[in-house]
Amino acid sequence: MVKRIAVLTSGGDAPGMNAAIRAVTRTGIYHGLEVYGVEHGYAGLMDGQFVPLTLHSVAGIIQHGGTMLKTARSDKFKTADGFNQAVGSLQRMSIEMLVVIGGDGSMAGAVKLSQAGIATMVVPGTIDNDMPGTKYTIGFDTALNTVLEAVNKIRDTAASHERVAVVEVMGRSAGHIALMAGLACGAEVMLLPEKPYDIRDICAGLDKSYKRGKLYSIILVAEGAAKGYDIADQIAVSTPFKPHVTVLGYIQRGGSPSAFDNIMGSRMGARAVEAYIAGSKDQLIAFEHGDILTKDYHAALSERKGIDYAIVDLAGILSM
Ligand code: ADP
Ligand code: F6P
């Protein structure tokens, strides 16, 4: 009997997920495994939405954002009924190992499957870069570049009109996107959920910069810290500035993956299969100290993933 493995993508899609699907498929086939894709994440798993993946079926996908397997968020999978349905689907298909490509919620699902005796491997994929156990999640770099490109454009018009521009970015309850994009685009202010702020300090800072001759400013607001429109309103009532607001929204999740995300997707997807063939299971494929390694879920979950406060300090100095 040829061994069967399966792969799914779950939670928010992220550029580079296709590279990971391709790498799982081709590495599996190279090692003599049969590979199945599960469409629509855990929702599709409960319904048994398996599709055979071949060398050909993953051709021509690496350059595209999103995920060719589609994705979903499923509350039903979190219930006992839904979960048992998913386990049943995997058993009926004789799947020996499932690769889950997704964020921390998706990893929580994979951990539960492993506790029920289903071998799993997690490839970290989310633009938020907020997973414990790994310094990098696939999609983050592309999202940062999307924010950078957008803010560069917003800066042109903010400079021309001598305005304050408030830009709200994604990241759920974490500030990694706002912080690193803020450093990359030279934002004057970054509001992060991890760092309490006082709107009076922000207004005073804008005033001071203006008096020094800085006639426009970029304020990046992480969605987990505040709403961009609320920040603009608060600035407008306390200062002479009338900020304009851009909520970047879903543009941050789409687009062709950066070279880095396709390299990470390819390496991490391949590593998930290679580690399984070498006898590991129930591991997060992690990025640490410039290297890709495997970590058991217990070790990964015991780590806290915070923002890098040295970068917060640096960004503060550079935006003076
Ligand atoms: P992400 O994986 O990007 O963090 P979500 O948090 O939305 O995205 O999680 C994706 C899916 O993973 C959820 O819709 C749900 O089906 C599953 N999931 C999330 N948390 C758990 C959990 N604690 N137990 C089981 N499954 C979970
Ligand atoms: O996890 C990725 C992400 O884009 C977050 O940054 C954002 O908060 C969330 O997904 C939005 O999710 P949805 O697609 O369910 O609106």
Token output for 16: 């580079």
Quote the ligand 2 centre to 250 CA distance (angstroms).
Answer: 8
32 and 123 both lie in a single domain = yes
Same domain (yes/no): 40, 105: yes
Query: Are residues 178 and 297 both part of a single domain?
Result: no
Residue 76 pLDDT > 80: yes
- Give the number of the ligand closest to the Cα of residue 77: 1
Does the residue 318 lie in any domain? no
CB atoms within 10 A of CB 241: 18
Is the pLDDT score of 200 beyond 80?
Answer: yes
Q: Are residues 18 and 94 in the same domain?
A: yes
Domain containing residue 76: CATH number: 3.40.50.450
* Residue 314 within any structural domain of the chain: no
Minimum-distance ligand to the CA of 124?
Answer: 1
- The binding-site residues of ligand 2, defined as CB within 6 angstroms of any ligand atom, are 11-12, 73, 103, 126-128, 170-172, 223, 253
Ligand 1 atom with least separation from CA of 72: 14
- Count of domains for the chain: 2
Secondary structure class of 139 (helix, strand, coil): coil
- The pLDDT value recorded for residue 320 is 75
Residue 1 has pLDDT above 90, yes or no: no
Do 38 and 133 belong to one domain? yes
pLDDT at position 289: 93
Average pLDDT over residues 246-255: 98
pLDDT attached to residue 114? 97
pLDDT confidence bin for 199, thresholds 50/70/90: very high
Which residues are CB-neighbours of 32 under 8 A, at least 6 positions away?
A: 2, 3
Residues 11 and 135 in one domain: yes
Ligand sitting nearest the alpha carbon of 74: 1
Residue 319: predicted pLDDT:
86
Domain for residue 316, yes or no?
A: no
Residue 308 in domain: no
Strand pairing category for 164-169 and 50-53: unpaired
Q: Are residues 19 and 125 in the same domain?
A: yes
Tally Cβ neighbours within 10 Å of residue 92: 10
In a domain, 310, yes or no: no
Average pLDDT of span 304-320: 92
Last residue of a domain, one of 229, 254, 279: 254
Q: Residue 18: pLDDT band by 50, 70, 90 thresholds?
A: very high
The model carries a pTM of 0.97
pLDDT more than 70, % of the chain: 100
Burial letters for 245-255: b for 16+ Cβ neighbours within 10 Å, e otherwise? bbbbeeebbbb
Spatial contact of 216 and 169, defined as CB atoms under 8 Å apart:
no
Positions marked active-site? 128
Q: Which domain holds residue 101?
A: 4-139+257-301
Q: Are 143 and 253 in contact (CB under 8 A)?
A: yes
268 and 248 assigned to the same domain:
no
Instruction: Say if residue 135 is in the same domain as residue 239.
Output: no
Residue 250 sits in a domain whose CATH number is: 3.40.50.460
Q: Are 153 and 203 contained in the same domain?
A: yes
Q: Which atom from ligand 2 is nearest to the alpha carbon of 130?
A: 1
Q: In this predicted structure, which of 22-26, 118-122, 192-196, 303-307 has the lowest mean pLDDT?
A: 303-307
Q: With 90 as the cut, is the pLDDT of residue 278 above it?
A: yes
- Tell me which of 172, 176, 177 to substitute to probe ligand 2's pocket, judged by most ligand atoms within 8 Å of the beta carbon: 172
Report the atom number in ligand 1 closest to the C-alpha of 12.
3
- The reply to whether 34 falls in a domain is yes
